[in-house]
Amino acid sequence: MAVSDFKDYYSILGVNKTASADEIKKSYRRLARKYHPDMNPGDKQAESKFKEVNEAYEVLSDKEKRQKYDQFGQYWRQAGQGWPSGASSGVGTDVGGFDFSQYANFDEFINELLGRFNTPGAGTGSRRTYNYRTSTGGTTGFDDFGGFSGFDNRTASNIDREATLALTFSEAFHGVQKRLNLGNEVIEVRIPAGAKHGSRVRVRGKGNVGAYNQRGDLYLKIDLQPHSFFQFEGDNLVCEVPVTPDEAVLGAQVEVPTPDGTVTVNVPAGVRSGQSLRLRGKGWPLTKGGRSDQLVKILIATPKEIDPTERELYEKIRTQRSYNPRSHLSQIRL
């Protein structure tokens, strides 16, 4: 095996050989974030570094694997010059309490250490099937010839998971803490005020576990349940408020619900059906701070049933009405 085949995992993670488990984890998280494919789309060099960092962490984070790796490292120079007597001929050689002669190169040693292949003990150049862990926790085979060049970067990008979280308008407006059952653990998640339908809330480190023991993130997609009064128009809240014909003609003060409670709104005389009145700062919480507006859409409600006195008054209005809303129609021609 060539000396260059050996990978110094301590150097890759930027720690010394006496580093504690916490120091190794801290360095790994920093580097994994730096070289993550999602942070470096299309960057093959970053992708390669990300694989190296994950491989190094998978070995050094496991006490038994780290011990074997350290033991191997003591003899990597001998490996570059050929194994001790008997090794090159395929005869098993125990070096420092571990038989390294069965491996043709460093990658072969690491592949068996990490359990990446289905055919243990196959010689150099033999065809192996490696496995990587998918986002569903199963394993999928892919073919490769020696080494570990067949790593699929989907291991890194598919470890995130997504779930739908239903919220009422009240929960989304005020913010809420939810307890979620992820199957093997129960977590508390705080949903900030102002979540909207289709928005996603990221919960770091609660996704699936990848092939290198790194864990992805959980993304909660908000499913905002319909409200009987409020709707969205962009960032603004919209509601419909009916007024009577006399209120529309003469103007009125009407009570309108807002997320903060009921307020009195001045409806101007001569308001049109479908016209909107703006209540500034009474809408939805914004991510950048503050509130959007609430738009009050006026609908003129015509009564279906009226008493004799009302009918008499409406008849009197009709006979004396000066306004004709259809006067402009007489000029329309094709």
Dihedral of alpha carbons 171, 172, 174, 177, sign = positive
pLDDT digits (tens, 9 = 90+) for 47-76: 888 888 888 888 898 888 888 888 776 655
Please say if the pLDDT value at position 147 is more than 60.
Answer: no
Quote the domain boundaries for residue 58. Answer: 3-155
Sequence-ordered list of residues with C-beta below 8 angstroms from that of 101, at least 6 positions apart, any chain: 83, 86, 87, 90, 91, 92, 93, 95
Beta bridge partners of 131: 141
The amino acid sitting at 79 is A
145 and 274: one domain? Answer: no
Under the banding of pLDDT at 50, 70 and 90, the label for residue 86 is: very low
Please say if the pLDDT value at position 210 is more than 50.
Answer: yes
Give the Cα separation of 103 and 117 in Å (integer).
14
Q: What is the pLDDT of residue 134?
A: 29
- Torsion region of 19: left, alpha or beta (phi above 0 gives left; psi -120 to 50 gives alpha): beta
CATH number at residue 297: 2.60.260.20
Q: Give a yes or no: residue 33 inside a domain.
A: yes
298 and 182: one domain? Answer: no
248 and 197: one domain? Answer: no
Give the best-scoring range by mean pLDDT among 134-138, 153-157, 217-221: 217-221
Q: What is the pLDDT of residue 114?
A: 66
206 and 254: one domain? Answer: no
Q: What is the pLDDT of residue 13?
A: 94
Q: Give a yes or no: residue 202 inside a domain.
A: yes
Q: What is the pLDDT of residue 254?
A: 97
Q: Give a yes or no: residue 72 inside a domain.
A: yes
Sequence-ordered list of residues with C-beta below 8 angstroms from that of 181, at least 6 positions apart, any chain: none
- In 3D space, the residue among 301, 303, 297, 304 whose CA is nearest the CA of residue 229 turns out to be 297
Structural domain ending residue among the three candidates 155, 186, 208:
155
Please say if the pLDDT value at position 90 is more than 90.
Answer: no
Do the Cβ atoms of 302 and 281 come closer than 8 Å?
no
State the average pLDDT for the chain. Answer: 78
Please say if the pLDDT value at position 216 is more than 70.
Answer: yes
Q: Give a yes or no: residue 263 inside a domain.
A: yes
Give the Cα separation of 7 and 196 in Å (integer).
48
Q: Give a yes or no: residue 48 inside a domain.
A: yes
Please say if the pLDDT value at position 140 is more than 70.
Answer: no
40 and 83: one domain? Answer: yes
150 and 165: one domain? Answer: no
Q: What is the pLDDT of residue 79?
A: 47
Please say if the pLDDT value at position 3 is more than 70.
Answer: no
- What are the angstrom distances between the C-alpha of 332 and each of 251, 325, 326, 328, 329? 32, 14, 11, 8, 5
300 and 318: one domain? Answer: yes
Helix (H) or strand (E) holding 67: helix 63-73
258 and 319: one domain? Answer: yes
Q: What is the pLDDT of residue 139?
A: 32
Percent of the chain with pLDDT over 70: 73
Structural domain ending residue among the three candidates 116, 137, 155:
155
The total domain count for the chain is: 3
Q: Give a yes or no: residue 259 inside a domain.
A: yes
Q: What is the pLDDT of residue 131?
A: 33
167 and 87: one domain? Answer: no
74 and 144: one domain? Answer: yes
Higher-confidence residue of 295 and 180: namely 295
pLDDT digits (tens, 9 = 90+) for 112-128: 666 554 333 333 333 33
Under the banding of pLDDT at 50, 70 and 90, the label for residue 78 is: low
Q: Give a yes or no: residue 332 inside a domain.
A: no
Q: What is the pLDDT of residue 16?
A: 92
Q: Give a yes or no: residue 76 inside a domain.
A: yes
pLDDT digits (tens, 9 = 90+) for 294-310: 999 999 999 999 999 99
* Residue listed under structure tokens 């609908």: 299
CATH number at residue 57: 1.10.287.110
Structural domain ending residue among the three candidates 209, 224, 239:
224
210 and 316: one domain? Answer: no
241 and 212: one domain? Answer: no
